[in-house]
């Protein structure tokens, strides 16, 4: 088993053996998975309360779905997330809050009201994001997308070696973020399953994830109900939980540290079992053959 690195999020520091659950909170009416169940602000706040009670280590708030759809400008994105982040911070002062955005002006606005982490899911499409993270002492997720335009699907994208491309891109982004003032322990790398990749690419990244977790940066994976799971098992979005959890266990064994998910309880159980098998966490109880 390979492990990552020490990670700092907000006021918290996590060892390389930590496996953190990042719960998804969509402030969108058209999410591919939850279909807008947390679009209303009060519903989204209820979602935050629920996942915190379920044991989520952090929440990831997003105001735009990743897939193609209605154009959402920066002002509308800010209307969806800035005031909401402020409410979440007021109610949960110790919760680590992430915001999923590729726009530096949105990042600056949410950091100003309490966000701890900027989840740049589009691989540096806005080159000023690291400077915003540095300005506020926030953490930053760097992702590999193969250079695709935000909110577009990959079309016949090819790599000589997808894992090598992921490695070189993420190393370049991570070192650039540090050079712009982001603390090294606050930089996270994400191979971004499905983003700029077909199913074969995402499977290869999963199979060889240890080639990323040995780079010395904490690794985040966003596997939840992704198309590579659905295509592998020929299942629609609402039936991909078991496959998602299988991929989660594989990535956990390879050393990923943060898991962006819809289902908190099930993910936590998988991660805890991997930690127990690895000898990094004791069993909750041991009475079989001993009592």
Closest CA to 98 of 36, 130, 137, 140: 140
What is the Cα–Cα distance from 207 to 194, expressed in whole angstroms?
14
Q: Which distant-in-sequence residues (6+ apart) come within 8 Å of 250 by Cβ?
A: 206, 209
Q: How far is CA 219 from the centre of its chain?
A: 9
Helix axes 129-136, 104-112, angle to 10 degrees: 10
Three-point CA angle 28, 189, 37, nearest 5°: 15
Q: What are phi and psi of 144, to 5 degrees?
A: -105, 125
Query: Helices in the chain by DSSP H: which ranges?
Result: 41-54, 74-91, 104-112, 129-136, 162-179, 199-207, 210-213, 227-233, 241-254, 264-277
Three-point CA angle 274, 277, 280, nearest 5°: 85
In the residue annotation, 27 being an active-site residue is answered as no
What pairs with residue 220 in β-bridges?
258
Contact 103, 126 (CB under 8 A): yes
In the residue annotation, 260 being an active-site residue is answered as yes
Choosing from 65, 80, 167, 260, the catalytic residue is: 260
Choosing from 78, 226, 240, 268, the catalytic residue is: 226
What is the Cα–Cα distance from 18 to 14, expressed in whole angstroms?
6
Contact 227, 194 (CB under 8 A): yes
Torsion sign (Cα): 96, 70, 147, 267: positive
Active site residue ranges: 226, 260
């Amino acid at each position: 088993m390979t492990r990552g690195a020490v990670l700092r999020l907000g006021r918290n520091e996590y060892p390389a053996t930590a496996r953190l659950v990042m719960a998804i909170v969509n402030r969108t009416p058209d999410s591919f998975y939850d279909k807008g169940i947390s679009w209303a602000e009060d519903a989204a706040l209820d979602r935050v309360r629920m996942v915190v009670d379920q044991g989520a280590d952090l929440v990831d708030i997003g105001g735009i779905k990743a897939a193609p759809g209605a154009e959402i400008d920066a002002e509308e994105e800010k209307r969806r997330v800035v005031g909401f982040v402020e409410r979440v911070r007021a109610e949960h002062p110790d919760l680590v809050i992430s915001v999923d955005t590729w726009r530096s002006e949105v990042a600056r606005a949410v950091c100003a009201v309490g966000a701890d982490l900027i989840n740049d899911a589009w691989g540096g499409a806005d080159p000023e994001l690291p400077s915003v993270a540095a300005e506020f002492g926030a953490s930053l997720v760097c992702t590999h997308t193969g250079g695709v335009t935000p909110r577009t699907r990959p079309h016949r994208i090819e790599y000589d070696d997808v894992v090598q491309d992921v490695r070189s891109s993420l190393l370049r982004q991570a070192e650039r973020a540090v050079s712009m003032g982001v603390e090294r322990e606050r930089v996270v790398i994400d191979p971004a399953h499905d983003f700029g990749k077909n199913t074969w690419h995402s499977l290869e990244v999963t199979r060889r994830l240890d080639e990323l977790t040995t780079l010395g940066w904490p690794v985040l994976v966003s596997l939840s109900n992704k198309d590579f799971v659905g295509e592998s098992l020929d299942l629609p979005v609402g039936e991909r939980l078991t496959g998602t959890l299988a991929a989660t266990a594989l990535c956990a064994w390879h050393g990923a540290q943060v898991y962006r998910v819809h289902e908190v309880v099930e993910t936590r159980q998988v991660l805890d079992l991997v930690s127990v098998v690895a000898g990094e966490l004791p069993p909750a109880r041991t009475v079989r053959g001993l009592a």
